[in-house]
Amino acid sequence: MRAYGFSEGGGPEQETFLDVPVPDPGPGELLVRVRAAGVNPGDWRLREGTYGVAGPAVLGREVAGTVTAVGPGVTGFSVGDEVFGGCPGMVGGWAEQALVTASFAAHRPAGLTPEAAAVLPVAAGTARDALEDLGLRAGATLLVNGAGGGVGIPVVQLARARGIAVVGVASPAKHELVAGWGATPVAYGDGVLDRVRAAAPAGVDAVFDMVGGAALRTVAELVEDRSMLLSIADKPLVAELGGRTVERDRSTAVLDELARLVVSGDLDPCVRQVRPLDEAGAALAEVERGHVVGKIVLVP
């Protein structure tokens, strides 16, 4: 079958269409005919070698589709079910058919499109888990560093739904988007601490970072209790600063929760581009450049 991935670790020049066999679902796995697949920064990081996956490999970490086979030991799913979920080993979704981890899969309810469902497991799931890790109560203030990105957009929405005030650091082009969900946007760059303090005179109770590097080091100064500093962008630096990364809950229950929020109108997955699998390379290039507004979905 036709799939998109990379021949070996490295830059975009290693990306290519692959002819791969249809996989057989192993214990705890589903095989689905892919109807939509999400695009994430983790995809290009995987291609670069960050996660230790050698090529050739198929890209894609999250999909929505129709179950075509059920692996040994799987209960609760049958051939023909419409589902969404995460791919085992973080790879394999940009294809005509893909494996999905049954324990990190859910039935797609009426009212949730395949395109919206396909972007929930990675970005929205990470956002939800970050808020659970931080345990902030209504009335607290959260700084989101990278509020206009794939994880930043759902975390702003989910935090505001919990009654948490949000200051969102984002590029000026994304300020209107961030403000539209009830956050106070501020710009990156020199003077960012002054802008954050002006937006939150009483201080911030936690920082959630999606940027890393010098930007993370700067905003870390805003929290004295470094257990309230989270980053998914720079694990070595956040550990050095006394913070931590997000503990993921890759479960059916989390996906069911996110699906309910979308159907009820409390969470917008913010799918802004739906592109054919033929354009996978161009879609990933956009995400890698870091200027995409909202999520991109690929449709085989």
Residues 148 and 81 in one domain: no
- Residues 148, 181: contact at Cβ < 8 Å? no
| Single-letter amino acid code for the residue at 268 | D
Mean per-residue pLDDT of the chain: 96
Contacts of 131 by beta carbon, 8 Å cutoff, 6+ apart: 155, 158, 159, 162, 164
Q: Which of 2, 12, 51, 290 is catalytic?
A: 51
Q: Domain for residue 262, yes or no? A: no
Nearest-5° Cα angle at 80, 79 to 82: 115
Domain contains 276: yes
Q: How far apart are CA 71 and CA 85, in angstroms?
A: 15
Q: Choose one of 224, 240, 256: the last residue of a domain.
A: 240
Residues 6+ apart with CB under 8 A from 75: none
In a domain, 146, yes or no: yes
Q: Which CB contacts under 8 angstroms, 24+ apart, belong to 269-274?
A: 269/116, 269/119, 269/120, 269/124, 269/154, 269/295, 270/153, 270/154, 270/294, 270/295, 271/115, 271/116, 271/119, 271/295, 271/296, 271/297, 272/296, 273/297, 274/36, 274/115, 274/299
Please tell me whether residue 10 adopts helix, strand or coil conformation: coil
Domain stops at, among 199, 224, 240: 240
Full domain range(s) for residue 208: 123-240
* Total of domains in the chain: 2
37 in the same domain as 78 = yes
- Which CATH number characterizes residue 58's domain? 3.90.180.10
Q: At what angle do helices 152-161 and 125-134 cross, to 10 degrees?
A: 50
> How are beta strands 141-145 and 2-6 bridged, if at all?
unpaired
Residues 200-223: pLDDT tens digits? Answer: 999 999 999 999 999 999 999 999
Where does a domain end: 191, 223, 240?
A: 240
Amino acid at 32: V
The two tokens of residue 209 are 């970072």
| Same-domain check for residues 74 and 157 | no
Residues 246-290 have pLDDT tens digits of: 999 999 999 999 999 999 999 999 999 999 999 999 999 999 998
Query: What distance in Å separates the CA atoms of residue 202 and residue 294, rounded to the nearest whole number?
Result: 30
Same domain, yes or no: 55 and 87: yes
User: Is residue 257 assigned to a domain?
Assistant: no
**For the segment 146-200, what is each residue's pLDDT rounded down to a tens digit?**
999 999 999 999 999 999 999 999 999 999 999 999 999 999 999 999 999 999 9
In a domain, 79, yes or no: yes
Q: What is the pTM of this model?
A: 0.95
213 and 166: one domain? yes
Helix (H, G, I), strand (E, B) or coil at 53: coil
4 is catalytic: no
Do 47 and 152 fall within a single domain?
no
CATH of residue 185's domain is: 3.40.50.720
Confidence label for 55 from pLDDT (cuts 50, 70 and 90): confident
Does 146 lie in the same domain as 80? no
Specify whether the backbone of 222 is left (phi greater than 0), alpha (psi in -120 to 50) or beta.
alpha
